[in-house]
Structure 1
Amino acid sequence: MEITFDVAVLLFFVALLAGVIDAIAGGGGLITIPALLAAGLPPGAAIATNKVGGVAAATAATLHFLRMRQIDLKRSRWMMLGAFLGSLAGGIALTRIDSGVLRQVIPFLLIGFALYFLLSPRVGSEDRAQRIAPALYAAAVAPLIGFYDGFFGPGTGTFLAISCVTLLGFNLVKATAHAKLLNLCSNSAALVFFALHGNIAWAFGLPILAGQWIGGTIGARLAVTRGHKLIRVLMVLMALIVSVKMLLE
């Protein structure tokens, strides 16, 4: 499909906003996918093309978090591999299994997480003792959430951040930073899968890529400077918005 200049500019600014929100709390696809659908892409192509922007936002945010020393790459390398392989398996499973069950269950999980953060204001304010070893997280949790991202997707960033807080004992800023790193890996696997199957509309993906790259950088800076309070508010808000949208559908 061809894209007009006006549509490209609109997609860029929509993606910029989505990138800011996604870097802080996840859920940027709630903004970009409807925009791609409104631009005329069919649902499958819109979801696939959205991964282009998702990778851009996650890359930009991850690079900033690395510069701010919020990510331990040596500690995370096996988690990254687990998220990538899990997402690749999820993408393959998507072609063979109906995702309807997840669509019914996930909203209630997200609402539960939102209530947990609302009722536990100290959670994520500082580092705490980890509940599981990083090796176990890399072997079980990262592949599981990665699989979910490749298979279904909504709320992946929230699941990753919450798992880093509750299981690895990270504060919310560090958890958000590692969530973007792992989300980059899972998004990259999904992008590879969609690219090989020819589902991506690159003409629409490029303005999304540019906008989300800039937005991801801005969002990561806000997350570091404003800290866990901003992340908590946006994470709860986005978890509720994703839940409501899925329930209405």
Structure 2
Amino acid sequence: MSLELVVLGTGAFAAGLIDAVVGGGGLIQIPLLLATFPTTPIAVLFGTNKLASIVGTGGAAIHYARSLDIPKHIALPATLAALPGAALGAMAVSLLPPSSVRPLVFVLLLLVGLYTFFKPDFGRLEGHGRIQHKLPWYSALLGLTLGFYDGFFGPGTGSFLIFGFVALFGLDMLHASASSKFVNLATNFAALCYFAYQGSVMWKVGLVMAVCNLLGGQVGARLSLRHGSRFVRLMLLVIVSILLCKLGWDLFSK
């Protein structure tokens, strides 16, 4: 195995671990792919990243489903709605450059981070959401919206999903993280189908990364289940902070 695949595999393992907890693995995998294949079209790198991610996310989702009682009345509508949402988002890339949404995403992530930081009990215990009487409809709307966002731009999708499941439906952080994996699985599937149809996937590289991402996802899911909502909350704050730094650099360094 070449040194490049070893580096990519190691990065994919770390990405799978992070993704299994709060999402954000693309922060590791995409820069690694860009650095390793600087002349490869960006669509091919994105397609390869989705191939690796979908395997790790799927493995983590199965692990959570075996260990937790997933709130299907919330997770299922969001997952189904995320499929067309992600497909529409991928199509919209040609109409509007993803960079145009960076300022809005920066502000939303900042609000999510501040709210979570200053509310220590946010997502610690399962409670009652604010819209219990319309759960399927609002869950589907959340999945459709964030599915579109993931297909169109992507960074922070996992964090937004966890925040939405906690704030709107009263889930604790652990169950929110577990539920978000099924939505992420749907968005990754829709995006991968699109990239595969376009021939924009490096299958050998992607499959090696997928195995490593799967292993990392299993470790991340075990850590979340062992340490609970407090661990997920801490990881959420860390990932949101890193995303803010990256988006802030992209916005203000020019």
TM class, shorter-chain normalised? over 0.9
From 3, 16, 28, the counterpart of 1:6: 3
Residue in structure 2 matched with residue 125 of structure 1 by the alignment: 124
Which sits farther off after the overlay, 6-15 or 213-222? 6-15
Q: Does 1:19 align with 2:20?
A: no
Which residue of structure 2 lines up, in the alignment, with residue 39 of structure 1?
A: 36
CA distance in 2, matches of 1:176, 1:187: 16
CA distance in 2, matches of 1:35, 1:42: 14
- For structure 1, which runs of at least 5 residues remain unmatched after alignment? none
Measured in 1, the distance between the counterparts of 2:249 and 2:69 equals 37
Contact 2:20 2:181 in 1 (8 A): yes
CA apart distance, 1:177? 0.2
Structure 1 residue ranges (4+ consecutive) displaced by more than 4 angstroms after TM superposition: none
Provide Cα deviations, 1:189-215, integer angstroms capped at 9, x if missing partner. Answer: 111111111111112211210111111
Cα offset, 1:119, TM superposition:
0.4
Identify the residue that residue 115 of structure 1 maps to in structure 2.
114
Answer whether contact 1:90 1:147 (CA < 8 A) is retained.
Answer: yes
Residues 17-41 of structure 1 show CA distances to partners (whole Å, capped at 9, x for unaligned) of 1111111121110111111111114
CA distance in 1, matches of 2:219, 2:138: 29
**2:203 counterpart of 1:206:** no
- Map of 2:185 onto structure 1: 184
Please name the residue that 1:168 is paired with. 169
Please name the residue that 1:158 is paired with: 159
Name the amino acid aligned to 1:236.
L
Q: Distance in 2 between matches of 1:30 and 1:145?
A: 18
Q: Distance in 1 between matches of 2:227 and 2:144?
A: 30
Structure 1 CA distance, aligned partners of 2:140 and 2:185? 18
Residue 72 of structure 1 and its aligned partner are, at CA, apart by 3.3
Aligned equivalent of 1:30: 27
> How does the TM-score come out when normalised to structure 1?
0.94
Give the residue type in structure 1 aligned to 2:204. A
Q: How far apart are the structure 2 equivalents of 1:114 and 1:186?
A: 23
- Aligned equivalents of 2:138, 2:208: Cα separation in 1: 35
Between stretches 208-217 and 100-109, larger displacement belongs to 100-109
**Could you tell me how far 1:75 is from its partner in structure 2?**
4.9
Amino acid at match of 1:245: K
Match of 2:98 in 1: 99
> Which digits, 9 at most, give the CA deviation of each residue in 1:93-141, with x for residues without a partner?
1122222321121012112111111100001011111122321223311
Q: Whole-Å Cα distance in 1 between the matches of residues 69 and 41 of structure 2?
A: 38
Residue ranges of structure 2 left out of the alignment (5+ in a row): none
Give 3-state SS (helix, strand or coil) of 2:221's partner: helix
Structure 1 residue 235 corresponds to structure 2 residue 215: no
